[in-house]
Structure formats: C-alpha cells, structure tokens
Amino acid sequence: MKKKELLKWEALEKEEKEKEGEAVWKLLTDGASSEEGSGAGITLISPEGVELTYAIRLDFENTNNTAEYEALLAGMRLARKMKARHVEASTDSQLVVKQHQGEYEAKDNTMARYMAKVKETAEAFKTFKLEYISRERNRKSDALSKLAFVAFDHLAREVKVEVLTSPSLDTTEVATIENTQETWMTPIIRFLKDGTLHEGDWAARKVRVKALKYELINGELYRRSYLGPSLKCVDNEEAKYVIREIHEGICGMHSGPRTVVAKAMNAGFYWPRMYETASEEIKRCDNCQIHAPMTHRHKHPMIPVSTSWPFQKWAIDIIGPFPEGPGVVKYVVVAIDYFTKWIEARPLAKITGEQMRRFVLDNIICRYGVPKELVSDNGVQFAGKPFRSWCEQMHIHQVFTSITHAQGNGQIKASSRE
C-alpha cells in the first residue's frame, strides 16, 4: 500500500508541475572508451515526449569513468540551453551515481573535480535528480556513444554531432602565481624586449654582453646552446624546486650535485651557479645527512715528493712474508731512487731496525753516497731505535708518509708490486 501511495503522490506532483509550466525533462546519458576512441551519447526527452539525440566524440585521452562524466555534463549543458528547470537524469554508471549521492568517496583527484563540476552545474536547475538505470534500458544512448567514434562521418544527417577537444574541467581553476619580483632574468628580458639597460656604463655593458647568450621564445627567456636545444631559464625558487624533484623526487636517487646539474640540463633547465645552488640545496637533505658515508679518521697533511739530482732521495719499504727460501729468508727490503728509478733489494730472514741500518749502509751509502732524504712508512723498523737515531747521526732527513694515504710513497709501492 505504501508503494502505491508513493507512486500516486509522484504522479500528482508531476501533474501539478506540468500545470504550473514547470514540466520535467528526462535525460539519459552514456559514455564509452576503447582503443578505437571515446564517445558520449545523450538522449533528452521533453515533457511533450519529443526526443533529442546527441552524439559527442571525445577527442582527448580519457577512461570509461571520465567518459561517463563527460556525457552527463554535456547532457546537463544541453538541458540548460533548452531552458529546462526540472531535470531527471539517468545513467548506467553506478560510480557516477553513487559519488553524486555521497555513497562513494572520490579518492582520485580527477574524479573529485568531475563530481564537483556536476554539483556546480546542477545548481542552474530548480530541481535535479540523478538515478541509475540498467544498460538494457539505456541502449539508445549507449549506441550513440559508440557511433560517435565508430561511424562518425555518417551521423551528421540523423543526429547532432559535436567534437570536444578538451575535458569539461576548467583548467584555469589551478592557481597560478606570477612572480612580480625582479630576478636575475629581468635585466636581460628588458634589454631583449625594448633595449632597456641599467644606469651606469659598467652595468649596461655587463647586461649587453650577457644578452648575447640568451633569446626570447614566446615571451620566455632561454639560454642558447651550441650543440643541444635551448635551455629554459628559471629563477632561484624554481631552480630549488627542480633540484628537489631530481634529488628526492619520485625516484629518490639522492645523487650528488654533479649528477643533479647534469639531469637538470638534460631536462632543459638553466640558472646561474647551478653547481653551487645544487650543493647548497643537497646539504639541507636530512636523509643525505643521516645516511651519507662519513670518514671519521683524522686528516693528515699531504707530503709532496720531489728531487733535483740522482741519489738525493730514496724510498724504502718491506714486503712479505713470502714462502721460506734458502737461508730461511721470507722478507724483502726494497729501496728505489726517485730520480733515476734505480732499485736496490735484499732478502731477509728477520726485519729489525738493525737489519734496515745495515741495508742502507751497504746498499746505498757505500755505493751511492749519503742520501739527503729517506722516505718510508711509519713501521717500527724505520721510526724506532736504532734506525732513527742512526739517521740523525748521518744527517739523513726521514720523511714518513701518511697512515691513511699510502700514495705518498707510491713509487716504492709500484716497484714492490713488480
């Protein structure tokens, strides 16, 4: 009984609206998207029963859901042109209906904007109602949506055809902030546009020389390139944004300043002091400060190695132990002259300070004279007694290489490796 009374009440309400000149218009919409293309079908029925069929080809990339929204919005615009005040819309998309009724949440940003656009357009009507119908009851609109891109050339004789080249969402809603402050590009742009220069001969000459490297394309400043395309010039804030996107953006490479600058130029951007700006911005990255490798060893000064005449400076080192040979020898002491690259070597069974003293005396001093400098590592045989005190008596200056920088005595290391 309640259902019959509800139907009777709706029929009476409809009759009253028709008497008052506020008749209800019915709108049936459907959207389709496939690899062949996308289209929308609209069927608008007047209170007198006159059907208006409308086909739309969507000439931009979209999905089935966005095609359904485009069809609904196009139908609402058509009803508004027909000056309809009461509209009952129907579509076979449960997503569109549920989102409009508030049962489904629009998690995607695009869907949320479409839903807001439908509600905004519905405010133009006195009453607007959106219902779900099955696909069987919406065959005409479904066929129109498919015909819009399957047989598009043959539809103009029977139905009205329109081509949309952009989505119904107003792209101007995105807030754009224009930077009215002067940047490093402002003097160059003024000079390239109308020849305006700074006051003062030096400042004007500087801008005139800089401008040779730049050009204006559609009102924007670009830096010329010899072998590649022109690079778009950006200000400091935009440069920092580009650095952050490359350094810790979607990929999150957290690469160094050289790689960031190279990727920024490959992407087509330029700003002055690119390496310095990238280094300063990367230093503010918390993850890099926490996880970057750090050296905790103490720093040692670099020791330059130079010589002016033969047998002035010798390098000495001990290599081994090796497999024992005749006489139980298993070590080798090697010395090389920095000027002539002459090598002296002797096998030893033991490596002590006294053995090092005898080697230097027999193999170097007795053959080539007393050297001025002797380069070695910080081993006990060279830095301890009796070798160190003996070098002081012979007026031989000892030079010890850094512990963490064995390359300081690289000449003897290379000879020992051979």
Record: fold of 313-417: Nucleotidyltransferase; domain 5 (3.30.420)
Q: Which two tokens stand for residue 125?
A: 């009507």
- Distance, in Å, from the CA atom of 84 to the CA atom of 48, rounded to the nearest integer, reads 13
The share of the chain scoring above pLDDT 90, in percent, equals 11
Q: What is the pLDDT of residue 231?
A: 92
Superfamily designation of domain 13-172: Ribonuclease H-like superfamily/Ribonuclease H (3.30.420.10)
Per the listing, tokens 């012979």 go with 394
| Structural domain boundaries in the chain | 13-172, 186-287, 313-417
Q: What is the pLDDT of residue 176?
A: 40
Q: What is the pLDDT of residue 274?
A: 92
Contact 270, 232 (CB under 8 A): yes
Low-confidence ranges of the chain (pLDDT < 50): 1, 20, 153-158, 172-178
Q: What is the pLDDT of residue 156?
A: 42
CA 205 to chain centre: 37
Q: What's the chain look like in SS3?
A: CHHHHHHHHHHHHHHHHHHCCCCEEEEEEEEEECCCCEEEEEEEECCCCCEEEEEEEECCCCCHHHHHHHHHHHHHHHHHHCCCCEEEEEECCHHHHHHHHCCCCCCCHHHHHHHHHHHHHHCCCCEEEEEECCHHHHHHHHHHHHHHHHCHHHCCCCCEEEEECCCCCCHHHCCCCCCCCCCCCHHHHHHHHHCCCCCCHHHHHHHHHHHHHEEEECCEEEECCCCCCCEEECCHHHHHHHHHHHHHCCCCCCCCHHHHHHHHHHCCEECCCHHHHHHHHHCCCHHHHHHCCCCCCCCCCCCCCCCCCCCCEEEEEEECCCCCCCCCCCEEEEEEECCCCCEEEEEECCCCHHHHHHHHHHHHHHHHCCCCEEEECCCHHHHCCCHHHHHHHCCCEEEECCCCCHHHHHHHHHHHHC
- Confirm whether 13-172 and 313-417 share one CATH topology: yes
Backbone angles phi, psi at 284, to 5 degrees: -85, 0
Contact 25, 87 (CB under 8 A): yes
- Distance, in Å, from the CA atom of 199 to the CA atom of 5, rounded to the nearest integer, reads 87
Q: What is the pLDDT of residue 174?
A: 41
Q: What is the pLDDT of residue 153?
A: 47
Q: What is the pLDDT of residue 278?
A: 92
Q: What is the pLDDT of residue 262?
A: 92
pTM, full prediction: 0.37
Contact 89, 72 (CB under 8 A): yes
Q: What is the pLDDT of residue 275?
A: 93
Q: What is the pLDDT of residue 214?
A: 92
Q: What is the pLDDT of residue 143?
A: 76
Report pLDDT digits (tens) over 197-208.
Answer: 877 788 888 888
Q: Which CATH class is domain 186-287?
A: mainly alpha
